[in-house]
Structure 1
Amino acid sequence: ALGQGPKTADEEHPPQTQVFAKGGVGQIIAVPGVASLILEQNPQLKGKLGFFPVPGKTAAKPGAVFTGGSDLVVTRRSDDHDAALKVIAELAG
Protein backbone atom coordinates (compact mmCIF):
# COMPACT_ATOMS: atom_id res chain seq x y z
CA ALA A 1 0.00 0.00 0.00
CA LEU A 2 1.18 3.50 -0.80
CA GLY A 3 -0.82 5.31 1.87
CA GLN A 4 -1.37 5.07 5.59
CA GLY A 5 -5.00 3.92 5.42
CA PRO A 6 -6.16 0.61 6.89
CA LYS A 7 -5.17 -2.32 4.67
CA THR A 8 -8.63 -3.86 5.13
CA ALA A 9 -10.49 -0.79 3.82
CA ASP A 10 -11.68 -0.16 0.26
CA GLU A 11 -14.37 2.01 -1.38
CA GLU A 12 -17.14 -0.03 0.29
CA HIS A 13 -15.61 -0.69 3.73
CA PRO A 14 -16.72 1.76 5.00
CA PRO A 15 -19.07 2.73 2.12
CA GLN A 16 -17.61 5.80 0.42
CA THR A 17 -21.10 7.18 -0.24
CA GLN A 18 -21.83 7.13 3.48
CA VAL A 19 -18.52 8.75 4.42
CA PHE A 20 -19.06 11.47 1.79
CA ALA A 21 -22.71 12.07 2.76
CA LYS A 22 -21.69 12.56 6.40
CA GLY A 23 -19.04 15.12 5.41
CA GLY A 24 -16.09 12.87 6.26
CA VAL A 25 -14.37 13.61 2.94
CA GLY A 26 -14.66 16.33 0.32
CA GLN A 27 -14.14 14.22 -2.80
CA ILE A 28 -14.44 10.64 -4.02
CA ILE A 29 -13.70 8.89 -7.31
CA ALA A 30 -16.95 7.37 -8.52
CA VAL A 31 -19.27 7.15 -11.48
CA PRO A 32 -21.90 9.95 -11.68
CA GLY A 33 -24.70 7.57 -10.66
CA VAL A 34 -23.24 7.41 -7.16
CA ALA A 35 -24.52 10.95 -6.59
CA SER A 36 -28.07 9.63 -6.15
CA LEU A 37 -26.87 7.30 -3.38
CA ILE A 38 -25.20 10.21 -1.62
CA LEU A 39 -28.32 12.37 -1.95
CA GLU A 40 -30.48 9.58 -0.49
CA GLN A 41 -28.32 9.71 2.63
CA ASN A 42 -27.99 13.51 2.74
CA PRO A 43 -30.66 15.42 0.78
CA GLN A 44 -29.13 18.74 1.93
CA LEU A 45 -26.37 18.16 -0.64
CA LYS A 46 -28.83 18.52 -3.55
CA GLY A 47 -27.45 21.05 -6.02
CA LYS A 48 -24.07 21.09 -4.28
CA LEU A 49 -22.38 18.07 -5.89
CA GLY A 50 -20.05 18.53 -8.86
CA PHE A 51 -18.17 16.30 -11.25
CA PHE A 52 -14.88 16.44 -13.12
CA PRO A 53 -12.92 13.89 -15.16
CA VAL A 54 -10.09 11.94 -13.56
CA PRO A 55 -6.95 13.94 -14.42
CA GLY A 56 -4.66 12.53 -17.09
CA LYS A 57 -1.03 13.10 -18.01
CA THR A 58 -1.97 16.33 -19.79
CA ALA A 59 -4.82 18.80 -19.35
CA ALA A 60 -6.04 17.97 -22.86
CA LYS A 61 -6.69 14.26 -22.15
CA PRO A 62 -8.47 12.94 -19.04
CA GLY A 63 -7.22 9.77 -17.40
CA ALA A 64 -8.73 6.35 -17.93
CA VAL A 65 -11.55 5.23 -15.67
CA PHE A 66 -11.65 1.90 -13.88
CA THR A 67 -15.18 0.47 -13.93
CA GLY A 68 -14.75 -2.27 -11.36
CA GLY A 69 -13.57 -5.81 -10.90
CA SER A 70 -16.62 -7.59 -12.28
CA ASP A 71 -17.59 -5.18 -15.06
CA LEU A 72 -16.30 -5.59 -18.59
CA VAL A 73 -17.06 -2.62 -20.83
CA VAL A 74 -16.08 -1.12 -24.15
CA THR A 75 -16.14 2.65 -24.19
CA ARG A 76 -17.90 4.53 -26.96
CA ARG A 77 -14.59 6.08 -28.01
CA SER A 78 -12.68 2.79 -28.22
CA ASP A 79 -10.16 2.79 -31.08
CA ASP A 80 -11.18 -0.74 -32.13
CA HIS A 81 -14.67 -1.39 -30.83
CA ASP A 82 -15.17 -4.75 -32.58
CA ALA A 83 -11.84 -6.17 -31.39
CA ALA A 84 -12.56 -5.02 -27.84
CA LEU A 85 -15.93 -6.78 -27.91
CA LYS A 86 -14.23 -9.97 -29.09
CA VAL A 87 -11.81 -9.81 -26.15
CA ILE A 88 -14.70 -9.41 -23.73
CA ALA A 89 -16.55 -12.31 -25.35
CA GLU A 90 -13.47 -14.51 -24.87
CA LEU A 91 -13.02 -13.41 -21.25
CA ALA A 92 -16.69 -13.93 -20.44
CA GLY A 93 -16.73 -17.39 -22.02
Structure 2
Amino acid sequence: MLIKLLIDIVESQDIIRDQYDEVSPKLWRYVENTNKNYYEYIHNNVLENILSNLRKKTKYLAASEILADILKYQGYKAKFMPLMIVTKDR
Protein backbone atom coordinates (compact mmCIF):
# COMPACT_ATOMS: atom_id res chain seq x y z
CA MET A 1 0.00 0.00 0.00
CA LEU A 2 2.81 2.42 0.87
CA ILE A 3 4.61 1.86 -2.42
CA LYS A 4 1.32 2.44 -4.29
CA LEU A 5 0.87 5.75 -2.47
CA LEU A 6 4.44 6.80 -3.23
CA ILE A 7 4.01 5.96 -6.90
CA ASP A 8 0.83 8.06 -7.01
CA ILE A 9 2.48 11.17 -5.52
CA VAL A 10 5.81 11.23 -7.33
CA GLU A 11 6.48 12.79 -10.68
CA SER A 12 6.20 10.68 -13.81
CA GLN A 13 9.99 10.76 -14.14
CA ASP A 14 10.39 8.85 -10.88
CA ILE A 15 10.33 5.10 -10.29
CA ILE A 16 9.97 3.67 -6.79
CA ARG A 17 10.47 -0.01 -6.20
CA ASP A 18 10.06 -2.03 -3.05
CA GLN A 19 13.53 -3.31 -2.10
CA TYR A 20 13.98 -6.87 -3.28
CA ASP A 21 16.84 -9.33 -3.04
CA GLU A 22 16.55 -9.94 -6.76
CA VAL A 23 19.05 -8.18 -8.99
CA SER A 24 17.42 -6.15 -11.78
CA PRO A 25 20.12 -5.11 -14.26
CA LYS A 26 17.55 -4.50 -17.03
CA LEU A 27 15.63 -2.08 -14.83
CA TRP A 28 18.83 -0.34 -13.74
CA ARG A 29 19.97 0.08 -17.37
CA TYR A 30 16.54 1.41 -18.35
CA VAL A 31 16.61 3.99 -15.55
CA GLU A 32 20.18 5.06 -16.31
CA ASN A 33 19.47 5.39 -20.06
CA THR A 34 16.24 7.38 -19.62
CA ASN A 35 17.47 9.72 -16.85
CA LYS A 36 14.62 8.76 -14.55
CA ASN A 37 14.94 9.06 -10.79
CA TYR A 38 15.00 5.57 -9.32
CA TYR A 39 14.42 4.82 -5.64
CA GLU A 40 14.25 1.61 -3.68
CA TYR A 41 12.28 1.61 -0.44
CA ILE A 42 14.01 -0.37 2.31
CA HIS A 43 11.80 -1.54 5.15
CA ASN A 44 14.03 -4.27 6.60
CA ASN A 45 17.57 -4.32 7.95
CA VAL A 46 19.68 -4.96 4.86
CA LEU A 47 22.83 -4.82 6.99
CA GLU A 48 21.99 -8.19 8.58
CA ASN A 49 21.95 -9.94 5.20
CA ILE A 50 25.35 -9.97 3.55
CA LEU A 51 23.70 -10.91 0.26
CA SER A 52 21.64 -7.71 0.06
CA ASN A 53 22.01 -6.21 -3.38
CA LEU A 54 22.87 -2.61 -2.62
CA ARG A 55 24.30 -0.38 -5.34
CA LYS A 56 26.08 2.93 -4.93
CA LYS A 57 24.13 4.38 -7.91
CA THR A 58 20.70 3.58 -6.46
CA LYS A 59 18.88 6.07 -4.24
CA TYR A 60 17.37 4.44 -1.16
CA LEU A 61 14.44 5.47 1.03
CA ALA A 62 14.89 3.79 4.40
CA ALA A 63 12.14 3.23 6.95
CA SER A 64 14.70 3.54 9.75
CA GLU A 65 16.56 6.76 10.52
CA ILE A 66 19.50 4.80 11.94
CA LEU A 67 19.70 2.57 8.86
CA ALA A 68 19.61 5.64 6.57
CA ASP A 69 22.48 7.22 8.53
CA ILE A 70 24.57 4.02 8.41
CA LEU A 71 24.01 3.64 4.67
CA LYS A 72 24.97 7.30 4.09
CA TYR A 73 28.12 6.79 6.15
CA GLN A 74 28.98 3.78 3.97
CA GLY A 75 28.65 5.88 0.81
CA TYR A 76 25.12 5.02 -0.32
CA LYS A 77 22.53 7.61 -1.37
CA ALA A 78 20.01 7.05 1.41
CA LYS A 79 17.29 9.20 2.92
CA PHE A 80 15.09 8.55 5.91
CA MET A 81 11.44 8.30 5.00
CA PRO A 82 9.28 8.24 8.12
CA LEU A 83 6.48 5.77 8.45
CA MET A 84 3.14 6.98 7.20
CA ILE A 85 -0.38 5.93 8.03
CA VAL A 86 -2.69 5.78 5.05
CA THR A 87 -6.40 5.31 5.40
CA LYS A 88 -8.64 4.04 2.65
CA ASP A 89 -11.73 5.97 1.70
CA ARG A 90 -14.80 3.90 2.36
Same fold (TM over 0.5): no
Identify the structure with bigger relative contact order (alpha carbons < 8 Å, sequence gap 6+). Answer: 2
Q: Which has the higher strand share?
A: 2
Instruction: Tell me the TM-score normalised to structure 2 length.
Output: 0.29
Which has the greater radius of gyration? 1
